[in-house]
Structure 1
C-alpha cells in the first residue's frame, strides 16, 4: 500500500538526496579516507542508509575495482620486493592469530562459528575472509553480522589511530606500509591508512595485503576439512590476479603511462567512497547486537598481533 503521508515521502527523498550528495563528495579530492568513514558513522546514527540492500555488494565491487586500479601505479620490481619481504611475516602472523583466536574462543566458550569468522577476519583480510569462510562453515546470518560488525568497528578505529601511532613512533613509509598490511583487518582500511601516511606506504601496504589475502584459499580449505564444511564453497580471489596483471601492464606497456595516474586517482577516490559506505553500517544499535565477549576476543587478538608485528618490523627494518 502506497503511503499518502507527504512528510514520510519527503523525508525519505531527503535522506536519499543527502546520501547521494555525501557519496558524490567522497569521490572528490577534498575528502580524506578517515573523514569519509567518520561521516558515514555519523550518518548511521542519524538516519538509515536508504540503499542498504545494495550496500554490501557496492562495497565488495568498488573495493575490488579500486584495488585493481591501484596496480596501475606500481612496478613489478617494487611489488616483488614488498611481497617477498612481507611473506614470512604474513605466514607467522596468520598462524599465530588463528591459533590464539580459536584457543581464546574455546576458553571463553564463545560461539564456535563466530570465533572462526572473527579469527579468520583478523588473521587475513577482514570482511573478505569472513565472506569466504562463512558459507564453508555454514554460518548463520546472525553469526556473520556479529563477526562483520566487530571487524568493521576495529577497522574504523585502526584507520584513525594507526597513522597517529606511526608518526608518534617515527615509523618510515616502508615500516608503516608493512605494519598496516599485517595489523589492520580489511583491505579498505589498510589502503586508507597507508594513503594518509604516504605514497610509498600505500604501495607497500597494498601489495603485502593482497599477497596476504591469497591465504584465504588455504585457510578456507583447512576450515572445509577440519570443520566438516563443503569444499564446493571454497572461493578463489580472482581479482588479485587482475591486480597483478595491472602492475605488469603498467611496468612493461609505456602507452598506459599517460592514463595510469588518472586511474590511480579514481581508485583512491573509490576507496574513500567505500569507507563512507562501511561507516553507514556502524550504527550503535547494530553494535549492541555484537555482545561483549566477541568484542573482547577480537580486541585481544588484534592488539596482540598489532604489537607483536610492530616490534618485529621496527627491529628488522629501517
Structure 2
C-alpha cells in the first residue's frame, strides 16, 4: 500500500471518529432539549440536563475511545464558539455602568481561592502539584486553566486528569444547585449573575446556571467569568515561577507557550455588534439560539469527560479539598456581594 493511500485512510478514520463523537454530543443535546420541556426538568434548563446526561452516559454505557476526538471538539471548540456568539446578548453600556469593581471582584476571587486551596492541600496532605491544579481550576476557568498550568508545575497525566475530573464534577453540581436555588435566593438578576460568574468553575457552568436568572444575569455572569479567564495568563506565569525558581529559563519558555483566551475577543466583538445595533432583532435572536445549541453540545461533551471512577484511585482527600474549597468560594462570593453592595 502506498504512503498516499495510508495517509488518505488515516484522514478518513479521523473524520469518522470526529463524526462519532459529535453525533453522541448532538444526540444528548437533542434529548436534553426534549427533557427540558417536561415540568420536572424545565427548572434545570437544557445545558445542565446535557451535562448530567453526559455524566450518566459515561458511567452506565461508557464512551468508546474513537469518539473522544469529537467529544473533545464539542467540549472545547464548540464551547468557545458558543461563548463568542453569546456576546450578541451583551451591551457594553452595561460594562461601563459596572465600573472597575468587576475586575476587582475577579482578582479577589482568584487570590482567595488559590490561597485557600494551598492551605487546604497542606492540611489534607495533598501533593503540591495536585493542590495547585485544583486551586487554579476552581479559581480561574476549570479544565483550560488546569491544562495551562499542568506543564508549569510538572504535573503528570494522572494528576491532571484527576484535577479536571474533580473540578468538572463540582462545577456541574454547583451549576445544578445554583439553578435550583435561584428562585429562592434574595438576589436581583444582576447580583445572581455576579455570584454565578465569580464562583462557578467552567465557562460552561456559568452559562448554564446564569440562564436561570434571565437575560441580565447571563450578561453580567459571562462578563465576570471572562474577567477570570482573562487573568489566566498572569496566574499561570506566577504559578510557573513559584514551581520553577531553580529553573528560570524553563519557566520562561513555558510561559511563552501559554494559551491565549482568543475567544474573549470574539465575545466582545459580538457585544459591539449588539451595542451599536448592527443587526435586526430577528438576526440577533437567531445567533443567540445557535449559541445556546452549541453550548448545550459543549456541556454534553463536558459531562462525557467526567470519570467518576477516577476519584477512587486517590481516595477522598482531593475530592474533599475540592468540595470545601468550592463551598468556601461560594460563601466568599456572597460576601463580595455584601462588600460591594450588590443586591
Q: TM-score range by the shorter chain?
A: 0.7 to 0.9
Q: Please state if 1:42 is matched with 2:56.
A: yes
Q: Please state if 1:203 is matched with 2:219.
A: yes
Q: Please state if 1:235 is matched with 2:259.
A: yes
Alpha-carbon deviation of 1:123? 1.0
Alignment partner, residue 79 of structure 1: 95
> Which has the larger displacement, 85-94 or 147-156?
85-94
Q: Of residues 126, 133, 137 in structure 2, which corresponds to 1:110?
A: 126
Matches within 5 A, 1:1-318: 21-26=27-32, 30=37, 32-50=46-64, 51-82=67-98, 84-228=100-244, 229=251, 230-252=254-276, 254-255=278-279, 257-314=281-338, 316-318=341-343
Alpha-carbon deviation of 1:178? 0.4
**How many residues matched?**
305
Alignment partner, residue 3 of structure 2: none
CA contact (8 A) 2:25 2:74 kept: no
Sort the Cα spacing of 1:232 and 1:16 in 2 relative to 1 into closer, same or farther, 3 A: closer
Q: Deviations over 1:179-223 (max 9, x none)?
A: 011111111011100012211111110111001111101101101
> Aligned to 1:254, what secondary structure does the other structure show?
coil
- Unaligned residue ranges in structure 2 (runs of 5+): 1-19, 38-44, 245-250
Alignment partner, residue 7 of structure 1: none
- Unaligned residue ranges in structure 1 (runs of 5+): 1-13
Alpha-carbon deviation of 1:253? 5.1
Cα RMSD, aligned residues only: 2.4
CA contact (8 A) 2:110 2:139 kept: yes
Sort the Cα spacing of 1:97 and 1:16 in 2 relative to 1 into closer, same or farther, 3 A: closer
Q: In structure 1, how many angstroms separate the alpha carbons of the residues matched to 2:208 and 2:48?
A: 7
